[in-house]
Amino acid sequence: MNNKLPLEFYRRDTLTVAKELLGKVLVTSTSEGVSKCRIVETEAYLGHSDKACHSYHKKPFGRVNVMFREGGLSYVYLIYGMYYCFNVVTEQEGVPEAVLIRAGEPLGDTSLTQQRRVKAKRFTQLLNGPGKLCSGMGITKEHYGVPLNSDIIYIEDMPLNLGEQIIATPRINIDYAEEARDFLYRFVIKDNPHISVKVK
C-alpha cells in the first residue's frame, strides 16, 4: 500500500494541517532501512503574526528560505548545535508557515529506530520530542527542502483511531515569544503516551 498524502494536503491553512497531521504515518527511507511512525504531536508556526516563528519579520534567505516556498516541502534545521527538528512547510508560495513534528509512535519493525536511539530507556521515549524524532527516524539536513512525496521521506494518510481526541495547548519552549507564548498552536492526541510533554 502506498497512500502518500498529496502535496495539495499541505497547501492549506497551517492550523488545519497541524491538526490533520495527527495520526498520519511518517515514513523515512535511508541507506540503513525504512522507518515508520505515527504522528502524535505537532506545533503550528505562523509567519506574519507569530513571534515564535523563525520567519517572523524575515525575508526568504538562508535557513528560512524553504518556508516561503509552496507547501509540501520539508524544513529541517539544527537546534542547540546538536539536534535536528523536522517541519512540514504549509500554505501557498510566499506564505512562510510550517508545522513542527514534535513526537511520534514507532510503527512496524522498530529495530532500526531503537538502534539509532540506544539511549532511550523506554519504548515511549524513542520519538517523544522533535530532536529524538529526527534522530530515531534518520532525518538530517540532507532532508532540507525535499518534497514530501519523494521516496526518502513522505507521509501516508491514516485516520485517527476510534475515540481518539485532539487537544490544543500552548507550545513548548517559546517563552521568549511574548504574547505568542499563549497561542494554542500545539496539538496532541489526548492521552497518547508518546507525546513530549504531558498536558496539564
Partner DNA sequence: CCAAAGATCGTCT
Partner DNA sequence: GACGATCTTTGGA
Please give the residue ranges that form the binding site for DNA (CB under 7 A). 43, 45, 52-55, 58, 62-64, 77-83, 85, 87, 98, 100, 117, 119-120, 125, 129-133, 135, 171-174, 176, 196
CB nearer to DNA: pick between 147 and 170? 170
C-beta separation of 74 from 145 below 8 A: yes
Q: At its nearest, how many Å lie between DNA and the CB of residue 98?
A: 5
Closer to DNA at the Cβ: 3 or 16?
A: 16
Helix (H, G, I), strand (E, B) or coil at 47: helix
Least Å distance, CB 34 to DNA, is: 21
Task: From 106, 119, 97, select the one nearest 193 (Cα to Cα).
Answer: 106
Q: State how far the Cα of 180 lies from the Cα of 176, in Å rounded to an integer.
A: 9
Nearest approach, Cβ of 179 to DNA (angstroms)?
15
Write down the H helix ranges in the chain.
14-20, 111-116, 130-137
CA distances from 85 to 18, 39, 101, 157 (A): 15, 14, 8, 22
> Closest separation between CB of residue 157 and DNA, Å?
23
Q: Which helix (H) or strand (E) holds 43?
A: strand 33-45
Q: Which is nearer to DNA, 1 or 12 (CB)?
A: 12
What is the closest distance, in whole angstroms, from the C-beta atom of residue 22 to DNA in the complex? Answer: 16
Give strand pairing partners of 73. Answer: 147
| CB of 119 or CB of 151, closer to DNA | 119
Choose between 3 and 48: whose C-beta lies nearer to DNA: 48
